[in-house]
Structures are given as C-alpha cells and as structure tokens.
Structure 1
Amino acid sequence: MAEASISQDKLMCPVCLDVLKDPVTIPCGHSYCKSCITGCWDQEDQMRVYICPQCRQTFSPRPALNKNTILAAMVEKLKKNKVQTAAVGAQDVQCDICTDRAVKSCLVCLNSYCPNHLQQHESLFKTKRHRLMEATGQLQEIICPQHDKMLEIYCRTDQRCVSYVSMMEEHKHHNIVSAAEERTDQQRHLDKTRRRFQQRIQEKEKECEELRDAMESHKRSAQTAVEDSERIFTELIRSIGRRGSELIQLIRDQKKAAVRRAEGRLVQLEQEVNDLRRREAELEQLSHTQDHIQFLQSFPSLSGALGSTDISSNAVGSLSSFADLVKSVHQLREKLENFYRKEMKKITVREPKTRADFLQYFCWLTLDLNTVNKHLCLSEGNTVITSVSCSSGQI
C-alpha cells in the first residue's frame, strides 16, 4: 500500500493536482496532463514565451508536446491497482476460527467467519438464525462495554449509541430513538456538510483560477513595463542609461516578490483544496456504510467545522498592474524633453527681432578714409557719414 501511495504522489499533475491524464513531458523534464499544459500555454500565446509552471524555465517558440509512454503505463497500472483494491475491500478481516479472510461477522457470537466456517455457523444455528453483517474488525466497538450487549439504539440526550439494557437503566428517562431514525437525521446533516465542502472546494478552485489569471496578467504587465521602459530609456541611453537599468531591475524585483507571495498563497490554496477533497471523500465513503452504529460513531469526528486558513491579505489584489509605472515613465520622458527644450532655448542663438535684441550687439565703428566711397563724406571723428547726393545718416 505504501508503494502504491508513493507511486500516486509521483504521478500527480502539478497543475490540476490529480493523477496524470494523457501525460506529456516538456523540454525541461517536467510532466503534465496534456490538457493542463496546453491550457496554460494557450494563455501565453500572445507573449510568444512559454513557461514551465514548476521550474519557470521559458521556451520560445512553443515546444512540441511528446507523450510520456512510461508515465502513461504507470498511470494505467495504478488505475488497475485501485480497481483491485476496491474489489477486495479497504479492510481485510481475518476469520476468528482460521487464517482465511472473513466474509461475514456475527453480531450475536461476536466473531467473523470465512465462507467455510460461516457455513458451519449457519448449520449450527439454523433453528435460531443469528444476525450477520459484512465482515468487520470493529465488532467490539458496537458492543456495550458495561452490559456486553450489542449497541442498537441511540441516546440523543448523551449523544451516543446504547444497548437496550442501558436504555432501561442509566438512560431510562433520556430521549431515545432507533439507530435507523438517528442515522436518517444525521444523514441529512452529512449531506449538508458534504455540500458545504463541495461549495468550499468550488470557491477555492475558483480562487486558484483567479489567482493564476492574475499572476499571468501580472507577468504580462511586468513584461510590457520592461519593454516600454527599455524602449523609452534607449532614447536617452547616453544620459540616463544607468537609471533606466535600475528601474527595470525594480520592476523585476517587484514582480518576483509579488509572484513569490502569490505562488506561496497558491500552494496553500491547493493544499486546502486537497484537504477538503480528502474530507469530502471520507464523508462520501461514510455515507455508503451499511452499519448504522459504525456510521453514528464515525460521523461526529468527520463532520467538524470546515475550518479555514484564509489570509486576510488579498493575494490577487497584490498582483497589481504596472500600467501606472509605465505612465510615470512616459511623463518623465515628457518632462525631460520639456526641460531639454527649455534649456536649449537658453544656449541657442536666436535671430534678433526687437530693438533690445539688436542692442545686445551694439558697438562703435570707425570708418577708413582710404576705402570710403567718393560719393560719401565723413564727419569729424569718422562717426557720421553723409552722402554727397543724399542727406546724412548716423551709423
């Protein structure tokens, strides 16, 4: 049984947490259900980068999925073992007369019998048939330890199974009902409890799916932020390349931290789903038991509160988009460009348009008498020129 349990653990799909169905292996060596890994990678088609859900190794282009024939054979063998185990029964009870496996237990003799000794038992008590049930190793648990009588009725006052002798003595004035009636009543509670478990499983599975979608969206957002940041800072790489690299690293660190927290929460949620499924399976098995006493004794321990280890923080909410960060980077670029244009105005020579602009270049001129035009007449100090045919003009 231990070997089968180990094999089943190794044959679990990391995505659906169930035994592998149509197992395939990807290039990094990890194996998944074909439908599970196909569904995961279909969501990544837009990015053209495909990630292993376990080791996070990336592949591009999309790898082909090859069937793992060894795992497929192991899965089939495991299924056959489960069928054989179910046919034999979860519990083998030994005959109290010999070493063969018992098939029936006598509630009067308090013994279990194999087919041969059961026939002898029937022959011995053919005039007074004893009450038989499916073979069980828990006969002593359905016998009253005080009166050595079979437990057949239920005391609601003390909430336990009692014998008829006990009913007439210490339970004389208590609320007594038949085991069948109490079983019917508690069966309704069991069904309600199972529905609550099923609802909780659905809620957890939905939360897992939402968390996976949020993680993928978060990763895509982070990748987009990295690409946009690289494009923006490439334009300014000579002046602010170092700061661009720091921002990219910050994005990656935040993504890594957020994904790590989300993955931790995802593992917890998947564990809770497994626990809920296990308890629901136990309730399912109990609901089909034929022995009322065994049912009544086992149900209280299985019908406890659902319990929850929910963390107050919202793991999906923590996987926020990097859109605001990208917006800030765009704004930073605009501010830098505005600052650049503003500063360039101060250092770029502008064409003078006003008197004040011209006066910036004012200086006194001295004209050369030897090169002056013969139609021009210079004043004393050579600062005023007068045309012979025109009125004078001051330079």
Structure 2
Amino acid sequence: MTFSAIPLTGIPFPRSEYERRQKKVLENVARTKLDALLVTGHSHLQYLTGYDPSTGAYFAPFPLILVPGRAPIFVVRAYDEAAVRANSCIDEIVTYIHRPDFAKQTANVLRQYGLQAKKIGLELDAWGLAPADVSALQAQLPEMKVTDATDVVRLAKAVKGQLELEVMRSAMTLTDLAIKTFQGSLREGITETEMADTLSETLNKAGGRLVMPVLAFGERAKLPHPSPAQHPIRNNQPALIECGGAKSGYSVGVCRGAVLGRHPETEALHALAEEALEAAIAAIRPGVTAGSVDAAARTVVERAGSPQALRHRTGYSTCPHWSGHRGNVSLEPGATHLLEAGMTFHMPIHLFGDSGYIFGCSEHVVVTENGAEILSRTPRTLYRA
C-alpha cells in the first residue's frame, strides 16, 4: 500500500528538517552517555517525526527508539500503522496489537540491537509513559539500566530552528486575526458558543484552524480552563479568551481579556497581570534561569499584596503545541534550566480575585540574543467594549 498517496497526509516540514532534529537529539544522547533513548512524550514524538500521536498513543506508548549510528525505529499499535506511515518521516516501524505487547515488542528491538543490559533513557517526566509501562519493560529486560532522559528531547525541542519560527509567526498571524474578531464581535447577548463558531469560521476561511481551550463570559470566568457553553455575556461583565491559530501542525496562542462596560475587580486583576507579565518578559535573556523569570513576575504580584493571586507557573516552552505539555521547559519557582536564544515560551498570567474571578493576559515570546521578541501584534491591554 502507498500510504503517501492518501489525501491530506504527509509531514509538515521537509524530511531534512526532521533529520536535523534527530541528529540534535542524538548528540544529546551521546553527551549524556546513553546507549539508547525511548521517546514517548507526545509533543516530543511530533517534533521528531511529524506524527501527532495524541489520537493513537492514548492506548499505550508509541516509543521512538533512537540509537546512535542506527535509523530510528517506531514501535506503534498495528491499528495506527497506516496513520504513522502516512504522517511521519520514519521508515522502520514495528507494530503490536494488544497493550501488553508494547513492552514485548520494544524489548525485542532493544535485544536485536544488543541493548538488553545497557543504559536506556526513558522520558519519566513527560506524558505518554505510565509507571506500569516502565515496570512491564523492565520485566522484559531485567538487566536494563533505566535513567530519566526527559531533558534530552525537552531541551533540544525548546530551541526552535528557522523553519519552525517561520511557521510560528505565520500561525500567530491567524491568532491575531482570531483575537481581533473576538474583540469586534463582543456584544451584549452573544453566547460563548456563538463566539467560538464565529472565530472558527473566520480562521477556516483564512486557511488555518482554531484551537481554543478557554472562553468564558461573566461568572464563568471563575472557572479554570472553561470551554465554550451556551452562556451569553451581559453588560458590565468580563470576557476571557485563550486561543491560537494552527498551521503545519504547530499552534501558537495568547490570552486576552475584555470587559463589556465596566467591571472593577477584573479590571484591577488585568492591570496587575500586565505589570507582572511585563516584568517577566524584561527578565528574559540567554543564560538566565527559568526560575528567575518566574520570580520577576511573582515579585510584582507579591509587592501588590496579593501573593495568593498567582497560583501557577509563569510560562512554559511551546510547540508543536502551545499548551503546557508535561515534558516542556517550565518557568516556575526554582527551575534551573538556562534560557537559550531561539527558545519559545507562552507566558500566561491569570490572577485569582477575592470573589473567585480568574483573569489576566499572556504573551508568546521568542528568546533572542538581546532579550525577547513578542510574536503577537495585538496589544495585551484590556479591551473595553
């Protein structure tokens, strides 16, 4: 079967780009003195292969086995083989049918390479691998030396190449279009679902796709991560949106706040969020720790006398998806990862008010040699309708 002939399939980037990424990761494998790396984090797999495993690897891990000097091998469920072949750059694929067979087939590949008693890196701090999976693999290869190697791909993926940055800037153009449409469509009586339909239609016409994990009007802005509901906005109520445009498998988002009329509590939260976000962005430059960027934002909130208002990290590295996958570089208290030019971060500052509102704004930035480049061209200031 010729899988490449299936309509609307294929890899978003040239094969040479994925080979560049794999080479970069294999250099990290050698540097950390690993004999092999099993990549199982979903965003890491998409970064290295082009295939988005979120629709298939919910079932069991789809490990990409990277061994220095050898072509990468994908171990996937037989049900998903056609999708993997059609949408990835990997030629060597081994399949399994039932979930327990994942460990058996993966162990077989490692034995064929003479790695059954070697040092194998697993992504223990990323989604895609459960403790039971690790135990099952260790039972198949009792002499295997397991080490946490999440950072091997995490740090490579965090630094974007030029092709990635071009796609991200293009996706942000769609994101800005969605935000401007949101602002222009905000009126009394419109529901969250009506707004979501309007934004989706607008981006579809522009040749992109809408990703929107957050849209909340009025009292529903007291919920974390609320998805659109049949709920209308009324005068003197707030509206919060987190959305992004998606292109070539990459989605790039921002958060923006608005008020229909006046709403003093969320207006004050937004003003403080803007100040904290500005301080965090000003702290960004190559060589600083991720924790110091988080501290810059947290200091502003604490100085305002509201230390409990900020109940999350300041940001996380992004793409292929912008949402915070476990396994990304995190801007959080005490984080020791060093920032490098080319890293990209989504930095949402959502503050909790006394009556329960969760409100604020965000930016999507690229670390540059001199600081940070803000990708969005839509002002982060509170929109008043």
The answer, yes or no, to whether TM exceeds 0.5 is: no
Which one has the largest radius of gyration? 1
> What TM bracket, shorter-length normalisation?
under 0.3
TM-score by structure 2 length? 0.23
1 or 2, which has the higher helix percentage?
1
Question: Larger relative contact order (C-alpha < 8 A, sep ≥ 6)?
Answer: 2
Higher share of residues assigned strand: 2
